[in-house]
């Protein structure tokens, strides 16, 4: 009777091991139509993206693509709105909205940190699995829940701000610069790029009402509370809406000055004396005089 070699792997296991070869192409799909995968296993330069992000039911396609791009970047890469707008064609407004989506659903986190030089900067943290790392794990360790982990509360959206009648690029840039300078008035008014993009139209609505940038800056930064300001963008959004000044009064254009007609020199048809007047007319002495009325009036 033949004996089996216990060290020889079964055929099923051998075939399974062959299928895991890193260069083996895997083709799967239905013969009835629809999607067919023609995949080759990656061995270098790839990023693992969870299906919870790729198939997220609430995120827009732009937000999903932007999160994928950010997760593929190396540490310390620039992911502010200006840098992303220079890389992609969607523009700063759409990119800012997509970043707010990712921040709301926990895929991005913004932290204010102080550099060794003393400057306060905004650091963006990318989370490939929201709620499973970083601050969430530390918070869970400090406050363990007996039944289930605590769910991270989404960040409340900023209040709406007034909108200008005309979104002039120059006016919006002036508004953006004004908001960026507020931290020089009070360091607590340091704003992120997303918050600045949200507030800039509200500042532009003030500027188009004949207010100078100095007057707007004073209105936003005066009489601030003495306690710490945890969300300066929400405070500024409230002030932009609640203290919006009325539009300037309508001023009718001034009437043009009366134009005095200078006639050329001509000769009177009655006495041939020279005077200034229309050609073919008579001088004052030769013009017919109105007839006197009996009561002292004149007849034309």
Q: What is the pTM of this model?
A: 0.38
Domain count, the chain: 2
270 close to 282: Cβ distance less than 8 angstroms:
yes
Q: Are residues 54 and 131 in the same domain?
A: yes
Residue 203's pLDDT is 95
Q: Furthest-apart CA pair in the chain: how many Å?
A: 161
For residue 66, give the nearest of 84, 48, 45, 47 by alpha carbon.
84
Beta-carbon contacts of 273 under 8 Å, excluding residues fewer than 6 positions away, are: 267, 283
Q: Residue 203: inside a domain, yes or no?
A: yes
Does pLDDT of 13 surpass 80? no
Q: Are residues 94 and 175 in the same domain?
A: no
Residue 6's pLDDT is 47
Q: Are residues 190 and 212 in the same domain?
A: yes
Q: Residue 17: inside a domain, yes or no?
A: no
Does pLDDT of 30 surpass 80? no
- 137 pLDDT band, cuts 50/70/90, is very low
Residue 20's pLDDT is 54
Residue 18's pLDDT is 47
- 1 pLDDT band, cuts 50/70/90, is very low
Q: Residue 48: inside a domain, yes or no?
A: yes
Least confident segment among 153-162, 170-179, 260-269? 260-269
Q: Are residues 135 and 166 in the same domain?
A: no
For residue 235, count CB atoms less than 10 angstroms from its CB and return exposed for 0-12, middle for 13-18, buried for 19 or more: middle
- With helix as H, strand as E and coil as C, how does 133-198 read? CCHHHHHHHHCCCCCCCCCCCCCCCCCCCCCCCCCCHHHHHHHHHHHHHHHHHCHHHCCCHHHHHH
Containing structural domain, residue 180? 158-222+234-240
Q: Are residues 50 and 123 in the same domain?
A: yes
- 226 pLDDT band, cuts 50/70/90, is confident
pLDDT in tens, 75-103: 888 888 899 999 999 999 999 999 999 98
Does pLDDT of 152 surpass 90? no
Q: Residue 18: inside a domain, yes or no?
A: no
Q: Are residues 162 and 141 in the same domain?
A: no
Report the CATH number at residue 56. Answer: 1.10.10.10
Cα(92)–Cα(106) distance, integer angstroms: 21
Q: Are residues 47 and 90 in the same domain?
A: yes
């Amino acid at each position: 009777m033949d004996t089996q070699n216990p060290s020889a792997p079964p055929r099923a296991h051998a075939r399974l091991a062959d299928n895991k070869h890193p260069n083996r192409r895997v083709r799967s799909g239905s013969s009835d139509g629809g999607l067919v995968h023609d995949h080759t296993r990656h061995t270098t330069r790839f990023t693992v993206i969870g299906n919870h992000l790729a198939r997220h039911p609430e995120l827009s396609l732009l937000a999903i693509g932007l999160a994928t791009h950010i997760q593929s970047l190396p540490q310390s890469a620039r992911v502010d709105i200006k840098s992303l707008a220079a890389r992609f064609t969607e523009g700063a407004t759409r990119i800012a909205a997509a970043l707010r989506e990712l921040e709301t659903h926990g895929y991005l986190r913004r932290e204010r940190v102080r550099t060794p030089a003393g400057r306060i900067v905004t650091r963006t943290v990318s989370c490939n699995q929201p709620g499973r790392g970083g601050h969430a794990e530390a918070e869970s360790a400090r406050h363990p829940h007996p039944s289930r982990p605590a769910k991270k509360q989404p960040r409340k959206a900023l209040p709406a701000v007034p909108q200008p009648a005309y979104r002039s690029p120059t006016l919006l840039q002036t508004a953006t610069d004004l908001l960026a300078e507020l931290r020089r008035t009070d360091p607590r008014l340091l704003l992120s790029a997303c918050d600045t993009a949200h507030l800039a139209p509200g500042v532009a609505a003030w500027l188009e009402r004949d207010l100078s940038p100095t007057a707007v800056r004073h209105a936003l930064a005066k009489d601030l509370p003495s306690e710490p300001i945890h969300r300066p963008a929400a405070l500024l959004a409230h002030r932009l809406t609640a203290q919006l000044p009325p539009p300037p009064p309508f001023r009718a254009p001034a009437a043009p000055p009366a134009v005095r007609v200078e006639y050329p020199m001509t000769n009177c048809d009655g006495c041939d004396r020279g005077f200034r007047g229309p050609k073919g007319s008579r001088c004052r002495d030769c013009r017919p005089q109105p007839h006197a009325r009996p009561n002292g009036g004149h007849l034309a």
